Amino acid sequence: MLWPAGKAIHRVHHSAYGATEFNPGNGEGRFHPIRTSDGQPIPTIYGSSTVDGALSETLFHNLPPSRKTKLILRSKLIPLLICTLACRRDLALVELKGFGLRKLGVMRRQLIDTHAEQYERTRRWAEALYAREPAADGLVWMSRQHDSSEAVVLFGSRVARAELAVIESPRGLVPPSAGWDEVTRAADAAGVTIEIPDE
């Protein structure tokens, strides 16, 4: 599918990375770290069409929806930043939603609604799609944690950092930074409590 030039990509990322800096392969997620068929690392950027989606796919990602009490320590927010990017050109993304999954012969529960123990397999899917679709700049799907938001992962080997514009500069997620208001609003809507230790 086409992600048009200028369409917002909201990103929550570690402060070790710049707003447009691709993750070289640190950590483990649904579609990273991944490699080319000859073993070269493929840097990635995760993002979402909405702020709520970006927070849900990162900060709230490991909170089971069925758990009665959903709690996050404020210390988890300290190293994180939120920003808004847009690509200066149209992006061609492999569509892992709607007819895209049907065309692949895969059900959402097999690829998107999976848990961490299955990430090794979902990463192999990302590598296979990367190899099969040389024009693909990344993948797009409906967020598992916030299913009205699109989630995206961009391939740093095909999207140049210079092609990404910063629409809203990175802001911290703890007070007095502006991102704190966004986090608390989203947490309240999701029924998540941010625990602030006694000073």
pLDDT for the residue 125: 96
Tell me, what DSSP letter sits at residue 195?
E
d(CA 91, CA 70): 36
Residue 155: enclosing H or E segment and its boundaries? strand 150-155
The 3-state DSSP class for residue 118 equals: helix
pLDDT for the residue 63: 77
Beta carbons of 134 and 31 less than 8 angstroms apart: no
Q: What does each of the 199 residues of the chain score in pLDDT, given as a tens digit?
A: 999 999 999 999 999 999 999 999 999 999 999 999 999 999 999 999 999 999 999 999 877 666 667 889 899 999 999 999 999 999 999 999 999 999 999 999 999 998 889 999 999 999 999 999 999 999 999 999 899 999 999 999 999 999 999 999 999 999 999 999 999 999 999 999 998 765 5
d(CA 124, CA 121): 5
Beta carbons of 35 and 123 less than 8 angstroms apart: no
Report the chain's C-alpha Rg in angstroms.
17
Could you tell me which residues are beta bridge partners of residue 166? 85
Could you tell me which residues are beta bridge partners of residue 5? none
DSSP string, 29-88: BTTBSEE-TTS-EE-EEEEESSHHHHHHTTTTTTS-TT-SSEEEEGGGTTTEEEEEEEES
Number of domains in the chain: 1
Q: What pTM value is reported for the model?
A: 0.93
**49: containing domain:** 2-195
